[in-house]
Each structure stands twice: as C-alpha cells, then as structure tokens.
Structure 1
C-alpha cells in the first residue's frame, strides 16, 4: 500500500509539472515573456529552465537596448542551469548558444569571438543530441553568415572561429527540409542572405515565408517584420 501511495504521488507530481510547463509555454506563446520566464524557472526543472532562457532571450527583443545585455546574461544562466540538471537536454545547449549569440553583440571584440566559439560548440552539442533540431541548423547558418562577412573584421572572425559562407545555405536548407511549414526559418535565411548582399534571394525566401501560418504572438510578429522587409526590397 505504501509503495502504491508513493507511486501515485510521483505520478501526480509529474503530471502537475507537465501541466505547469504547458502553462508557462502558453504564457510565452501569448507574448507574456516575463511571466513565462518566471513561471518556467520556478519549476526548477531542466525543461522549465530551458524555456525560461528562451523566453528571456526572445523577450529581450521588445525592450530598450540598454536592458538587453542583462537579459541575455540572465538567459545564459538559465540555460546553464538547465544543462546542469540534464546534460542530455538538447534545448538547454541550444538556448545557451542563442543567448551567447545575442550577448556577443554587446561585448568587446575578443570576448565576442570567445562567445562565438562557445556558441558553435553548444550548437554542435545540441545537434548531436537531437539531429532533427531545425532551430540549431538555422542558428548555424546565421553564425556562419554573420562571422564570414568579408573585409578585415570578417577575416579575423573566420580565422578565429572557422566560419564559412559556404556553410550558410546547407544549414538553412536542412532546417527548412525538417520543418517546411515554419516561417521563421525562411525569414532568418533571408536575413543571412541580406548579410551576404543577396537581396533577390532574400526576397524569394520572404515571399515564401509570408504565405505560411502564424499562430503565436512571436510568429505573427516575425511575419509582420518579414512583410516590412519585403516591402523595402521591392
């Protein structure tokens, strides 16, 4: 009887945790990123902390630039805590890489190159744990595009990180093949193509992206920005 009670209590606990994770996800999908991050972090689970990292990183796009660095730093700590709780959580490594990529924009050159190397390592780890993680391939595509930009600065970045423009398209094509109905993959591909100066190719990706469905607050926001960018390219 005692074992049965213990098993029942554990099942209830797991179910409640799953429901709480879903509730935090729902808040995030509605655009309530601060509430979502707090709710997800309070679960103190690997999945919850990874979601807290995601909500904090993505939510930072809505605040003033002066507040972004602190938020990206916090997201990085959430992701590290997620990994500490589960070394096999691919989402934890992906969110750590994403936070590092954003944080690199707000630090000095040498520190940003160090973050870029760590970002690549964490993306590779995420893919080794989940080879079908489309978002990780998108991030790798952007990583290569943003580092191999040509000129003196680009040459330093390439030498330090091994980034290559040749790796941009294959990563985005892999992501789109895995999730053809996700607009943000094509939107980010367009952003990478714009970094390379390929405006016509970027417009072609955006033309496809704006025909895809958008359900969450973030998806709708992405499509609004895609339409605005597309209008400027016409």
Structure 2
C-alpha cells in the first residue's frame, strides 16, 4: 500500500510539473515573456530553466537597447543552469547558443569571437543530442552567414571561428526539411541570403513565409517583420 501511495504521489508531482511547464509556455506564446520566464524558472527543472532562457532572449528583442545586454546575459545564466540540471537537454544547449549569439552583438570584437566559437560548440552539442531540432540548423546557417560575410572583418572572423558560407544553404535546407511549415526558418534563411546580396532568392522565401499561419505572439511579430522586409525588396 505504501508503494502504491508513493507511486501515486510521484505521478501527481510529474503531472503538476508538466502542467506548470505548459502554463509557462502558454504565457510565452501570448508574448508575456517576463511572466513566462518567472514561472518557468520557478519550476527549477532543466526544461523550466531552458524555457526561462528562451523567454528572456525573446523578451530582450522588445526591450530598450540599454537593457538588451543584461537580458541576454540572464538568458545565458538560465541556460547554463538548465544544463547543470540535465546535461542531456538539447534545448538547454540550443538556448545557451541562442543567448550567446545575441550577446555577441553587444560586446567587443575579441569577446564576440569567443562567444561565436562557444555558440558553435553548443549548437553542435544540440544536434548531437537531438538531430531533429530544426532551430539548431537555422542558427548554424545564420552563424556561417554572419561570420563569413566578406571583407576584412569577415576574413578575421573566418580565421578565428572556421565559419564557411558554403554551409549556409545546407543547414537551412535541413531545417526546412524537418519543419517545412515553420515560417521563421524561411524568414531567417531569407535574412542570410540578403547578407550575400541574393535579393531575388530572399524575396521568394519571404513570399512563402508570409503565406504560412501565425498563431503565437512571436510568430505574428516575425511575419510582420517579413512583410516589411519583402515590401522593401519589391
């Protein structure tokens, strides 16, 4: 009887945790990123802390520029805590890489290159743990596109990180194969192509992206940005 009671208590705890995770995710999907991050972090689980990192990184895009660096650093801390809880959580490594990529935009050149190298390592780890996590391939595509962008600055970045623009297309194509109806993959692919001056190809991708449904606050925001970019290309 005691064993049955313990099993029931454990099952209820797991169910409650899953519901709380879902509730935090729902808050994030509505654009309530601060509430989502707080609720997710309070779970003190690897999944919860990874969601807190995602919410904080997403929220930073809405914050004033003078707050962004601190938020990306906070997101990085959440992701590291998620990895400490579960070293096999692919989402945690992905969120760490994403936070590092954003943070690199707000630090000096040498520190940014260090973050870029760490980001690549965390994306590789993400894919090792979950080869079907499409967002990791999108991030790798952008990583190569941004670092191997030509010019002296690009040459320095390539030498320091090993980035290669030939890896842009394969990574994005992999992501779109995995999740063909996810608009942000096509939008980011278009952004990467624009870095290479490929306006016609980018416009074609954006046309496909804006035809896809947008359900969450973030998806709707992405589509509005895509429409604005497309209007400038026409």
What TM-score do you get using the length of structure 1 for normalisation? 0.99
Match of 1:35 in 2: 35
Q: Distance in 2 between matches of 1:19 and 1:44?
A: 14
Superposition deviation, residue 6 in structure 1: 1.0
Gap runs ≥5 in structure 2: none
Where structure 1 has 5 or more consecutive residues not aligned to the other structure, the ranges are: none
SS of structure 2 residue aligned to 1:98:
helix
Structure 1 residue aligned with 2:205: 205
Q: Residue in 1 aligned with 2:169?
A: 169
Residues in 1 aligned to 2:197 and 2:68: alpha-carbon distance in whole angstroms: 27
- 1:233 aligned partner: 233
1:61-89 Cα distance to aligned partner (Å, 9 max, x none): 10111000000000000000000000100
Does 1:53 find its partner at 2:53?
Answer: yes
**1:73 match:** 73
Shift of 1:5: 1.2
Report the Cα distance in structure 2 between the residues aligned to 1:226 and 1:150, rounded to whole angstroms. 25
Structure 1 stretches of 4+ moved >2 Å? none
Tell me the CA shift for residue 197 of structure 1: 1.2
Residue matched to 1:112: 112
| CA deviation map 1:50-71 (0-9, x unaligned) | 0000000011110111000000
In the aligned structure 2, how far is the partner of 1:164 from the partner of 1:66? 32
Aligned twin of 1:159:
159
- 2:130 aligns with 130
CA distance in 2, matches of 1:148, 1:206: 23
Q: What is the match of residue 44 of structure 1?
A: 44
Q: The residue matched to 1:62 in structure 2 has which SS?
A: coil
Q: CA deviation at 1:110?
A: 0.4
- CA-atom RMSD, angstroms? 0.5
TM-score, length of structure 2 as denominator length:
0.99
Distance in structure 1 (CA, Å) of the matches to 2:232 and 2:218: 21
Aligned residues: 234
